[in-house]
Amino acid sequence: MGPAERDLLLDAFDSNWIAPHGPHVDAFEREFCETVGMPYAAALSSGTAALHLTLLMLNVGPGDEVIVSTFTFAATANAVEYLGAAPVFIDSDRETWNMAPGLLEEELAMCSRRGKLPKAVVVVDLYGQCADYDRILAVCGRYGVPVVEDAAEALGATYKGKPAGSFGAAAAFSFNGNKIITTSGGGMFVSEDRSLVERVRYLATQARDPAPHYQHSEIGYNYRMSNLLAAVGRGQLRILRDRVSRKRDIFHFYEHVLSGLPGISFMPIAEFGEPNYWLTCILVDPVRFGATREDIRLALEKENIESRPLWKPMHLQPVFKDCKVRGGDISREIFDKGLCLPSGSSMTESDLKRIVGIVLRTRPRSR
């Protein structure tokens, strides 16, 4: 956090707008729209809330199926379950680690043959890299199934020059503490459809009818963002470009030092876009490298440095064990071999050198 966030937060505090609405919420929504090139946005308490309300907008309910990338964080699939619907998982492709358009096509063709299409397809922009939207939108368009973009990790990324979050019927962003910019916790719903965004705002504010008293004709949610956190978000938006640039430098530092080593490869960067480099992720082939990703993780942990395995795919999660999955081996392999290296933007060059030194020392000496 920097001086801009502090000044804006104090401004919100001093103005006494200590509520889940207020001038900073309105300004954050406006400024966010400018950043992602979308006309309308609603600031919410989390990215999960944004996904939940997006699916509610698309009338997802009990008995429905929703197609979801299997390689993601649980929140993507949880939102489907909140509405009593069933997630159907699609494996990743090797080129982007995102939803494989070919498998999506197979699944939709099968759904069409059996006469029941899914209510939506939720596509995740994993680790800050956009999925292949031209192909995904073409497939979904053929079957008339709406696309939802889970851009929780991808603020600042682009696909063919267009910002993440500008594909599909609506998109969800997260400002959780670990994201590229943060409000400690928070999310944003964005869409080109003004009526959708207005309805999300209404549902997120306990679905309060326009009356002087408290009157409700529908079930609502307490999902709005606080004015204090929106002030922090406005300050964070101002440093988004610098953040992405620093994250890119961190990725390239690791890549320069480690990519020549046998058995180490990096998350592939597809030619169609520019990620936000949120986390630098590597794959470790234990036979060729001589150590496993867990050896590296534990060696770093011994030095009090945190690194993490990649997301465990949803089709391998105990809670989703009964859900359908198409493919699954690619994300399983990426999970087995994958590690998120420390990627904090405040790390110094000497921190980075220390980390790669530890990674290199995990290899047996004879190599």
Q: Kindly list the residues in this chain that would bind ligand PLP in the complex (CB under 6 A).
A: 46-48, 72-73, 75-76, 124, 150, 152-153, 174, 176, 187
Of the pair 35, 76, the CB lying nearest ligand PLP is at 76
Q: How far is the CB of 127 from ligand PLP (least distance, A)?
A: 9
Residue of 228, 325, 339 whose CA lies nearest to 280? 339
47 close to 75: Cβ distance less than 8 angstroms:
yes
Residue of 102, 75, 72 whose CA lies nearest to 89? 72
Backbone phi and psi for residue 178, each to the nearest 5 degrees, phi listed first: -95, 0
- For residue 78, give the 3-state DSSP assignment: helix
Q: How far is the CB of 291 from ligand PLP (least distance, A)?
A: 28
Q: How far is the CB of 47 from ligand PLP (least distance, A)?
A: 3
Pairing of the two strands 65-69 and 338-341:
unpaired
Of the pair 47, 328, the CB lying nearest ligand PLP is at 47
Q: How many residues does the chain have?
A: 367
Q: How far is the CB of 249 from ligand PLP (least distance, A)?
A: 22
Q: How far is the CB of 134 from ligand PLP (least distance, A)?
A: 21
- For residue 242, give the 3-state DSSP assignment: helix
The residue with its CB nearest to ligand PLP is: 47
Of the pair 128, 290, the CB lying nearest ligand PLP is at 128
Backbone phi and psi for residue 280, each to the nearest 5 degrees, phi listed first: -85, 120
Residue of 249, 163, 359, 252 whose CA lies nearest to 149? 163
Of the pair 1, 109, the CB lying nearest ligand PLP is at 1
Of the pair 80, 284, the CB lying nearest ligand PLP is at 80
Of the pair 171, 264, the CB lying nearest ligand PLP is at 171
Q: How far is the CB of 237 from ligand PLP (least distance, A)?
A: 16
Residue of 271, 332, 338, 339 whose CA lies nearest to 91? 332
Q: Which residues, including other chains, have CB under 8 Å from residue 211's CB and lie 6 or more apart?
A: none
Of the pair 307, 362, the CB lying nearest ligand PLP is at 307
- Measure CA 108 to chain center: 24
Q: How far is the CB of 279 from ligand PLP (least distance, A)?
A: 10
The encoded tokens of residue 67 equal 């197609």
